Structure 1
Amino acid sequence: VMLVTPIGGADMPVVISLMNSYSGLAAMTTGFVLDNYALIISGSLVGASGIILTKIMCSAMNRSLLNVVAGGFGQEITAAGETSGGERTVRKMDAEEAAMVLESAQKVFIIPGYGMAVAQAQHAVAELGDILRKKGVDVRYGVHPVAGRMPGHMNVLLAEANVPYEMLSDLELNSEMEQCDVALVIGANDVVNPDARRPGSQIAGMPIFDVDKARTVMVCKRSLNPGFAGIENELFFNQNTVMLFGDAKKMVTGIVSELKGK
């Protein structure tokens, strides 16, 4: 516990998988003490899988495990949600307006995050994609390697909602972002935060989706609160960004209803 106490921000998913491996190693050690083969075998499997998962997540975040573990020591942690300036305004949009913008688009990229998982909105998101495709819109889903709480979290949810695998893309989607009419961000935060490009940021160097380069960015989120990294997302205040405040499932369902009525 003391080893991971200084670690925070966007490294938390890595810490979770690392702690999982620690629990497996502890179980394995207990098995040796008690001469219990079941504990030894199960603990070894959990420990090994946890280490592999940690390595995968570190690679996806462009970090080394040593950098994650030692990076928290001696750092000054900024309070979550602390802003550098005065109050700023954001542009808001409701489901009806969002439906109009999406319907008039030719290319839409949907970027899901942990908020989609919390709201259980994957089926509504899949239905939205189906409706837009039937209207002739080119729809793609951008899945970040560390979106959610483990690698493949978003892939599993979208597969559960029967989203075709060929519609899923990873960070290679950035090459087409400037041609994207609407980037719809659903419950994602740190993985679309432009602050990752700034040297010295808590998430500096982490690969992100460059959604701010799209013509229009829609962010479906409950509030302006920061994500895992605990830092403000400048994306929310961009001129080409509109916020869809509310529960992701209710908001996407509302957009679907509006599109069906047109």
Structure 2
Amino acid sequence: MAVDYGGAVADGRVKSGRVCRDERVRVKLLQAAGVGVKFAIHPVAGRMPGHMNVLLAEAGVPYDIIFDMEDINAEFANTDVALVIGANDVVNPAARTDKSSPIYGMPILDADQAHQVYVVKRGQGKGYSGVENLLFFNENCSMVYGDAQAVLTQMVQAVKDLGA
């Protein structure tokens, strides 16, 4: 899972503590279903560097499944499913490929290299940079619009229903 502050905000107000507490429960449910779970955190995710790490740690998400970008990027190519929650610019392949982009050269989470990517967003808006996210148009990417809490609850239930 690649999480960003956008995944912790809904309806214009901060719900980050609640979302992260629910994340711990979701992790346990997914692990019980045999799903390997890791959190990929970009260094600038959140409202300040380290913000998402703190929120996840406070919520009780085990430290051993929270990874910084440089420690997890190589794993995306061997990942079956990358679940991107509320992130935009920090997973945009334009940072690697589009020299005319204002985000060109910015290190990103390589979520686009996973076999399948699901992006959970509240709407079709662009990230902070205002740049269209090329990931959203990749064949291996599916967009899931809605409140992150509701969407993630439904996704976890679907995994449980599959008996995975």
Q: Could you state the TM-score of these two structures normalised by the residue count of structure 2?
A: 0.87
**Which deviations, in whole Å up to 9, do the C-alpha atoms of 1:206-261 show, x marking residues without a partner?**
11011111000000001221010011101111100011110111111222334445
| 1:175 maps to which of 52, 60, 74 | 74
Kindly provide the amino acid, as one letter, of the partner of residue 216 in structure 1. Q
* Residues 33, 160 of structure 2: 8 Å contact kept: no
Q: Name 1:54's counterpart in structure 2.
A: none
Q: Name 1:158's counterpart in structure 2.
A: 56
Kindly provide the amino acid, as one letter, of the partner of residue 204 in structure 1. Y
Q: Name 1:130's counterpart in structure 2.
A: 28
**Which deviations, in whole Å up to 9, do the C-alpha atoms of 1:182-220 show, x marking residues without a partner?**
000000000000010122311111110111110000000
TM-superposed CA distance for 1:124, in Å, is: 2.7
Kindly provide the amino acid, as one letter, of the partner of residue 136 in structure 1. G
Gaps of 5+ in 2: none
| Secondary structure class of the residue paired with 1:127 | helix
| Secondary structure class of the residue paired with 1:243 | strand
* Residues 131, 259 of structure 1: 8 Å contact kept: no
Aligned length: 153
What is the CA–CA distance in structure 2 between the aligned matches of 1:224 and 1:142, rounded to whole Å? Answer: 22
* Residues 101, 131 of structure 2: 8 Å contact kept: no
Kindly provide the amino acid, as one letter, of the partner of residue 130 in structure 1. K
**Which deviations, in whole Å up to 9, do the C-alpha atoms of 1:16-59 show, x marking residues without a partner?**
xxxxxxxxxxxxxxxxxxxxxxxxxxxxxxxxxxxxxxxxxxxx
* Residues 144, 170 of structure 1: 8 Å contact kept: yes
Q: Name 1:91's counterpart in structure 2.
A: none
What is the CA–CA distance in structure 1 between the aligned matches of 2:26 and 2:36, rounded to whole Å? Answer: 12
What is the CA–CA distance in structure 1 between the aligned matches of 2:22 and 2:154, rounded to whole Å? Answer: 9
Kindly provide the amino acid, as one letter, of the partner of residue 125 in structure 1. E
**Which is richer in helix?**
1
Q: Name 1:228's counterpart in structure 2.
A: 128
**Which is richer in strand?**
2
Bigger Rg, structure 1 or 2:
1
Q: Name 2:148's counterpart in structure 1.
A: 248
Gaps of 5+ in 1: 1-109
* Residues 117, 157 of structure 1: 8 Å contact kept: no
What is the CA–CA distance in structure 2 between the aligned matches of 1:202 and 1:116, rounded to whole Å? Answer: 23
Larger displacement relative to structure 2 (191-200 or 181-190): 191-200
| Secondary structure class of the residue paired with 1:138 | coil
Q: Could you state the TM-score of these two structures normalised by the residue count of structure 1?
A: 0.56
* Residues 23, 61 of structure 2: 8 Å contact kept: no
Q: Name 1:237's counterpart in structure 2.
A: 137
| 2:8 maps to which of 105, 117, 122 | 117
Percent of matched pairs sharing the same residue? 51
**Structure 1 residue 195 and structure 2 residue 128: aligned?**
no
What is the CA–CA distance in structure 1 between the aligned matches of 2:51 and 2:123, rounded to whole Å? Answer: 23
Q: Name 1:186's counterpart in structure 2.
A: 85
* Residues 111, 188 of structure 1: 8 Å contact kept: yes
What is the CA–CA distance in structure 2 between the aligned matches of 1:137 and 1:255, rounded to whole Å? Answer: 12
Q: Name 1:58's counterpart in structure 2.
A: none
